[in-house]
Chains A and B, each alone.
Chain A
Amino acid sequence: MNLSDLLPLAPEIFLACAGMLLLVAGTFGGAGMARAVNVLAGVSLAVAFGLVVCPVTGVTGELPGGHVGTDGFSQFVKMLLLPAALVSLVLSHDFLKKPEAARFEFPVLVLFATLGMMLMVSARSFLGLYVALELQSLSLYVLAAFLRNDTRSSEAGLKYFVLGALASGLLLYGISLVYGATGSVVFAKLQTVLASGDAPVGLVLGMVFILAGFAFKLAAAPFHMWAPDVYEGAPTPVAAFFASAPKLAAVALLAKVLYEPFGALAAQAQPILMVLALASMAWGAFAAMAQGHIKRLMAYSAIGHIGYALIGLAAGGAEGLQATLLYLVIYLPMTLGAFAVILCARKNGVALEQLSDFAGLSKTRPALAAAMALFMFSMAGVPPLAGFFGKFYVFMAALQAGLLPLAVAGVLLSVVGAFYYLRVIKLMYFDAPRGAAFDPVPGWGTGLVLASTAVLILGFALQPDLAANAVRAATATLAGAA
């Protein structure tokens, strides 16, 4: 084995080393280092992004052993994961000023979680997949409980941990069944074995367990019950991180597993994915109406969006995969932007959590209210904003695959879901402000995030083919395998 064999994994190796070095720096630097470490962690993510993009280090290939390797799909997903994680760090920069949160472990844990996600999408065997998934999950559990003196944060961390452990158990049990039926955990070998005959019951049952485990991690209904409590209890920058990069990584991993090892089982996986998609869309739309807490609302919104993204995977084929990935490309800026607004909405330095607190935001902070209105309209799927295109492509993919009922249900449920997005806009624009005045936007970093996500959402309609073509090129390797 040469050192050059490790080149495809250069960004990950860099991130792992950077995380450990920052840990040492933070330990010696003491408590005052939190924000400095945060900046350095952001720089590390940017450098890792450069390593993914750079033609010398961004090569595709498999590492010896066959458990991990990169391809066009994983490179593309990493190019989205790293900026999403970077934005989460920018959004949490202000949070790290608080004395109870000023600890340097926060950015280090975000780095390791991002590393886990990058390794997840590079996995080429169930063994590589599992260790990477655990690296990501374990970092996220700790982040959820980060405010250790806050009972709600501790509760969120514990709840996430217990249900995450259950999901890991389901996943491992499924993997063991698949191994028993095929004698291998490596994706490429699974493909050849699956081509050798009809899938026995045990193998299909194993796949069902694996899908259930993924559905837990994705918070797709009916495996979603942890998500609202965790989003509510976790610190808001952490909730913003949860809603963005890990969702993308988990959907990308699910797509990879469905298209690579289980490509021959598409017919058996389709009904499961349809049920997951339909239940998530319905639960996201109806349960969100009763919510008065903005972070719970965002949690149900995320559940609904995962439902729409799963429509593409249920449709299958190259179009389905492209539609799902494009949906997530659009979902990331919408969610991060909306969370940036939630982080900015404060009165006398206290973060607003109830929906009714947003009443009259447009009177004192018109730009902030306009940005929130933009994200909400986009999430509801109002043309010509980006969110409309995301929904359009998944519904088209469903129609092409002959899933007319699912597409119709999706359209109807997105109309239902529009209700609570529009309610936020009504509160901001048509209700009288109550109590103290809103604080100004805390820093230029958050302002920059708001501006850039808003431009992406608005500008998508001008060049919709740009993103669609990039997604098509990225999925060519995976869709070819199916």
Chain B
Amino acid sequence: MNVVDLVPPALFYCFAGVLVLASLMVVVARNPVHSVLFLILAFFNAAGLFLMLGAEFPAFILMIVYVGAVAVLFLFVVMMLDIDFLELRRGAWKVWPVGLLVGAVLVAQLVMTAASWQSLPGAQANILSPAPRENALKAYVTTPEGERQAIQQPRNGPKPLTNTEALGRVLYTDYIYAFQVAGLVLLVAMIGAITLALRGRRGRKSQDIGRQISRKPSDCVAVRQVKTGTGVEC
């Protein structure tokens, strides 16, 4: 066995292991800022896994959108709101036996399912084509006999599509419906944010004619007798 063949599995286990640990730390870290930083670490490792699959577009989107925008927004929120997370978690220890039990059962089921994973015989017809893999470090297919073979890329054939190109070809054609409805979802999210959070600027120095006209002397003028040498209490 060649040493080079060991690189992809080593990278995979490195990325996957750090991803799992970082996700765990997001939940258990005491300091919420550390939680967000671990979240960023988890995003980077997930992006690494995407790159190994030859899916560079999701990898970069994950970094640009999630690390660049979402996680930074989280950091701002966590730092600006000054929420006492320990106080929030205080009651959580009372329910941990139940949570642990449910979680353990779920994990056991999922592990058993994954261990005996099989897809239906008809599923093969639905898999479009081998994903473009020339960007992957090394890609394998499993032969019916259970051997692993490296995929041979044709040398003189037409250049295979890159992942970004392949996505671009279907996103605005076959998946235009989902794309448009996702746009509507974002529109509703924007309406919701504005409806729930936007208030007119306070202390704005604009003229409100109605308020000016309806103002009466009794609302704002008080006549007091002030003796010499004393002040006025408001």
B-binding residues in A (CB < 8 A): 16, 20, 23, 63-65, 67-68, 103, 105, 108-109, 112, 115, 119, 127-128, 131-132, 134-135, 138-139, 141-142, 145-146, 148, 157, 177, 180-184, 189, 192-197, 199-203, 205
Contacts and interface: CB of A to CB of B under 8 A. Distances in A.
B93 interface: no
Contacts of B110: 205
User: What is the predominant secondary structure among interface residues of chain A facing chain B?
Assistant: helix
B178 A146 contact: no
A112 B186 CA distance: 12
Contacts of B126: 182-184, 189, 193
B109 interface: yes
A182 B176 contact: no
B122 interface: yes
B123 A193 contact: yes
A65 B177 contact: yes
B103 to A, nearest CB: 14
Interface residues of B, number: 36
The 3 A-B residue pairs with the shortest CB-CB distance, nearest first, are: A196-B122, A183-B126, A142-B192
Contact of B195 (A63, A105, A200, A203): A105
B65 interface: no
A131 B184 CA distance: 9
B120 A199 contact: yes
A201 B113 contact: yes
Most buried by B among A105, A142, A145: A142
Interface in B65-123: 109-110, 112-114, 116-123
A65 B187 CA distance: 23
Contacts of B197: 148
A258 B119 CA distance: 20
B184 A145 contact: no
A113 to B, nearest CB: 8
Nearest to A106: B195
Contact of B120 (A109, A142, A181): A181
Contact of A202 (B117, B173, B175): B117
B182 A197 contact: no
A197 B191 contact: no
A322 to B, nearest CB: 30
A193 B120 contact: yes
Given A182-B120, A183-B126, A138 B177 contact: no
Nearest to A113: B188
User: What is the predominant secondary structure among interface residues of chain B facing chain A?
Assistant: helix
A52 B123 CA distance: 36
A138 B175 contact: no
B175 A135 contact: no
B181 A131 contact: yes
A103 B181 contact: no
A112 B173 CA distance: 24
B213 interface: no
A177 B110 CA distance: 10
B225 interface: no
A202 B118 contact: yes
B185 to A, nearest CB: 5
B185 A131 contact: yes
Nearest to B112: A201
B196 A135 contact: no
Interface in B177-223: 177-178, 181-182, 184-185, 187-189, 191-192, 194-197
A466 B149 CA distance: 64
A132 B188 contact: no
A138 B118 contact: no
A311 B187 CA distance: 37
B122 A195 contact: yes
Contacts of B123: 181-184, 193
Contacts of A194: 120, 122
B156 interface: no
A109 B195 CA distance: 10
Contacts of B124: 183
Contacts of B121: 196-197
16 contacts: A20-B187, A65-B174, A128-B178, A138-B188, A139-B192, A141-B192, A142-B188, A142-B191, A157-B196, A177-B113, A181-B123, A182-B123, A197-B120, A199-B120, A200-B120, A205-B110
Contacts of B116: 200-201
Contacts of A177: 113
B127 interface: yes
Contacts of B189: 138
A48 to B, nearest CB: 15
B175 A67 contact: yes
Contact of A146 (B174, B184, B195): B195
A146 B197 CA distance: 10
A146 to B, nearest CB: 7
Nearest to B116: A201
B181 A135 contact: yes
A182 B119 contact: yes
Contacts of A142: 188, 191-192, 195-196
Given A115-B184, A128-B178, A142-B196, A196 B120 contact: yes
Interface string B149-191: 0000000000000000000000001111110011011011101
B181 A119 contact: yes
A67 B119 contact: no
A108 to B, nearest CB: 7
A132 B178 CA distance: 9
A135 B195 contact: no
Nearest to A154: B196
A91 to B, nearest CB: 20
